[in-house]
Amino acid sequence: MKRKGFTLIELLAVIVVLAIIALIALPIITNVIDKAKKGALKNSAYGLLEASELYLAKNMDKTLETMEFTCSNNLCVSGTEKIDYKGSIDLGKIKIYSDKKVAICLENDKNSAIKLANEKEVTIETGNCNYTGETYEVDEFVSLDKYNEIKNTLETVQTSSDELADELTELKSKGTATSSEILNNKTAVVQGEEITGTIANNGLLNKTLNAGESYTIPIGYTSGGTITSKTLTSQTVSTATSNNIFNGYTAFVNGAKITGTYELTNTQTTTLYSGTRVASLSRTITLNKGVYYILVYNLFSGSNVPTAAFTGNTVITSSNAADTISSIIANKFFKVNVNNDNTTINLILYGGIATTSFLHDITIYILK
């Protein structure tokens, strides 16, 4: 008995063979179609470039401003200006610059043909034309995976932005400082607002004070420093001893307090008398070697008061030029250092004009 038709296995085998052929052929066919579309798009771009050059040739005697033509089907339009083109264009634009250079970007379903103003050749790139910039560009297509990646990134950024907004809202409610509590020219955000400090920055403060002296620290910020008090020793540098200080009196010498033991002995008392007012009185005194103190005392108006109104200078001189004479209390109390025995000391007391001078009874004490 003869068989009619094919068995199921034979049919399955044929189907598998056809599927394999299709898997092999489909990419090849798709690639051929894609190349054909790219070639057609590129040719369209060159054809449109020629049409643009023809437009420029027709208007070569005109001053042209930069114009952009929008192309669709077989016509490119810019206001009232047109560029005729034989062929069909899905979408594209032409930009003719004032220097008569031409830029073109055309696109189909997934490719774009682009030529920039400073280029001569047309190139094919995958993506859509971007006409928004100063020059044309081609934006690549974004795959689904890339889209999802971008989407996830944006969602993460949004979440972070929301969290930052919450933190910022919380920070706006914090802070208690005022401008007077922040350093001058420094800024801070308090309760959501920026404030500038006004506290003076005094920096380091270093000060040395004498005994009993005070120092007022200026208002403001101080980064540190040292307030030092001078030692008593440094402020009482002296050479005196107790024998050089009157008995019962005290003094600080090189930081130490000492009590004087020196006692004066009255060696002479001389009274000068004038029955009338005179301009001056004089006296000569003979002294032996030693240190003497001469006190000029005045009897006036019936009471003993220190001389306080000599109108001139009381002059005390010594016959020995090596002797030293110094005034301890101006013109009333003198220290005389006599180097030799039997030295003559001359005293001249000036009282001014004779008719007005009140010099009357003058007592001179010679103390040693």
Query: In angstroms, rounded to a whole number, what is the distance separating the alpha carbons of residues 28 and 92?
Result: 29
Alpha-carbon distance 115 to 43, whole Å?
A: 12
CA dist., res. 106 & res. 129, Å (int) = 7
The model's pLDDT over 156-213, given as tens digits with 9 standing for 90+, comes to: 877 778 778 877 777 777 888 888 888 888 888 888 788 888 888 888 888 888 877 8
Q: What's the whole-number mean pLDDT along residues 40-64?
A: 83
Choice between 66 and 27, residue whose per-residue pLDDT is larger: 66
Phi and psi for 124 in degrees, rounded to 5? -105, 130
Measure Cα distances from 122 to 105, 119, 319 in Å: 9, 8, 127
Gap between the Cα atoms of 86 and 328, Å rounded = 128
**pLDDT band at residue 66 using 50, 70 and 90 as cut-offs:** confident
Tell which wins on pLDDT, 241 or 279.
241
Instruction: Say which range, 83-87, 111-115, 273-277, has the weakest mean pLDDT.
Output: 273-277
Mean of per-residue pLDDT scores for the chain: 75
Task: Name the more confident of 260 and 327.
Answer: 260
- Per-residue pLDDT at 233 exceeds 70: yes
Q: How far is CA 186 from the centre of its chain?
A: 9
Sheet strand arrangement including 102-107: 67-78, 81-96, 102-107, 111-115, 123-126
Interacting residues of 326 by C-beta distance below 8 A, sequence separation 6+: 334, 335
Cα separations in angstroms, 314 against 235, 306, 333: 34, 14, 10
- Interior angle at CA 194, CA 190 and CA 200, nearest 5: 90
**pTM given for the model:** 0.36
| pLDDT at 117 exceeding the cut of 80 | yes
Rounded Cα distance between 184 and 220, Å, is: 9
- The pLDDT assigned to 309 comes to 40
Where residue 73 falls (left for φ over 0; alpha for ψ -120 to 50; beta otherwise) is left
Look at the block and give the residue holding tokens 């016509």: 75
Mean pLDDT (whole number) for 312-324: 63
> Using 50, 70 and 90 to split pLDDT, how confident is the model at 272?
low
Q: What is the pLDDT of residues 1-23, one digit of tens each?
A: 555 666 777 777 777 777 777 77
Q: Looking at the predicted structure, is the pLDDT value of residue 222 above 70? A: yes
Q: What is the pLDDT of residue 312?
A: 45
Q: Give alpha helix (H) positions in 124-200.
A: 144-171
What is the token pair recorded at 291? Answer: 């240190």
Residue 311: band (very low, low, confident or very high) from pLDDT cuts 50, 70, 90: very low
Let me know: does 270 contact 284? Beta carbons within 8 Å. Answer: no
Provide the pLDDT confidence category of residue 143 given band limits of 50, 70 and 90: low
- pLDDT score, position 293: 76
What confidence score (pLDDT) does residue 19 get? 77
* pLDDT attached to residue 301: 38
Residue 352: C-alpha distances to residues 310, 324, 349, 358, 360 (Å) = 7, 26, 9, 9, 13
Cα gap 312→65, rounded to integer Å: 108
> Mind listing the pLDDT tens digit for each residue in 124-142?
888 888 888 778 887 776 5
Q: Decide: helix, strand or coil at residue 145.
A: helix
The answer to whether 344 and 319 have CB atoms below 8 angstroms apart is yes
